[in-house]
Structure 1
Amino acid sequence: MTIRVTTAAIIEADGKFLIVEEIDPIKGRVYNQPAGHVEKHESILEAVVREVQEETGYIFQPESLVGIYHLHANDHDATYLRFCFSGSIVSQSSESNLDPDILAVHWFSHEQIRHCRAQHRSSLVLTAIDDYLQGKRYPLAMLNYIGKEPQWRYDL
């Protein structure tokens, strides 16, 4: 069994959450948090910062870990281990080219997210946001990357 390690970001501003509308090869048009796979020689924190920038054009500052989620997706016959972070937007990226699979970037209320759950990429979208709203937060210091110095920190 291969486990695919992924990251996702929960970004809330003024009671709304940053959501991407994207194309899934099996489900078609779906909604998701900015999320994606960890690449070779990349820390989990570097991956979530990169994915947010590639999918939304925003520079993301992770502040806490919301949860680690284990999912077997029957439609993809794959097992995922997803690290979901909360944090804030530091700035807008100077690059304007978003990932080609991203159709749009939205700010949705919790109610709007619940309303479109049939079109979520997976059940992890709402589960992670509900965990976030319940106050689940874990310190980033619990993640230890044995490798090069992390590149995700920004001077605020």
Structure 2
Amino acid sequence: MSIWYPHVTVATVVEENGKFLLVEEQTSRGLVYNQPAGHLDPGEDLVQAAVRETLEETAWNVNVTGLLGMALYTAPSNGVTYHRTTFIAEPVRHEPERALDSGIERALWLSYEEIAAAEEHLRSPLVLAAVEQYRNGHRYPLTMIYS
């Protein structure tokens, strides 16, 4: 008997001057856009994972300021269910010389309109949904998360 479990992931919505920090990454579907995102590593908490993934995928150091929301998503491509915790962060410092994670082509800043227009090239529907939640004022304190 196999045990089902969701994959724990984090994502970060980083906005500055009306633009959102995204990554362009290579997948089996080709190049897609996503928030900086990834899996929780052993021994780290969710906020630490969000900061680490954002730095590894974009070369941006960020300060996580709040919780945006949580979602379950089952990817049609592989049937895996992801439990995604999405955070809000502000950019602190860019390290342009830093190498990006494998599979990440580049980090870029896009407006809401550009993200919405690229809907068919988004990694999942969670990308646009997170930006829309952010634009609609969803903000929750980090104290909602405890260990």
TM bucket (normalised to shorter chain) is over 0.9
2:120 corresponds to which residue? 118
1:53 corresponds to which residue? 55
| Superposition deviation, residue 57 in structure 1 | 0.5
| Structure 2 residue corresponding to 1:80, chosen from 61, 79, 82 | 82
Letter of the aligned partner of 2:22 in structure 1?
Answer: I
Q: What is the CA RMSD across the aligned residues, in angstroms?
A: 1.1
SS in 2 for 1:127: helix
Deviation string, structure 1 residues 31-77 (Cα, Å, up to 9, x no partner): 00000000111111110000000001111111011100111112121
| Superposition deviation, residue 95 in structure 1 | 5.8
SS in 2 for 1:87: strand
C-alpha distance in 2, partners of 1:136/1:69? 14
Consecutive unaligned residues of structure 2, counting only runs of 5 or more, are: none
Identity of aligned residues (%): 40
Letter of the aligned partner of 2:123 in structure 1?
Answer: R
| Superposition deviation, residue 127 in structure 1 | 0.5
Runs of 4+, deviation exceeding 3 Å? none
SS in 1 for 2:14: strand
Q: How many residues align?
A: 144
TM-score (norm 2): 0.94
Letter of the aligned partner of 2:45 in structure 1?
Answer: S
| Structure 2 residue corresponding to 1:41, chosen from 38, 43, 55 | 43
1:108 corresponds to which residue? 110
TM-score (norm 1): 0.89
CA contact (8 A) 2:16 2:91 kept: no
| Cα 1:95/1:27, change in 2 over 3 Å | same
Deviation string, structure 1 residues 114-155 (Cα, Å, up to 9, x no partner): 00010100000000110010000110011112xxxxxxxxxx
| Structure 2 residue corresponding to 1:11, chosen from 11, 14, 24 | 14
| Superposition deviation, residue 91 in structure 1 | 1.2
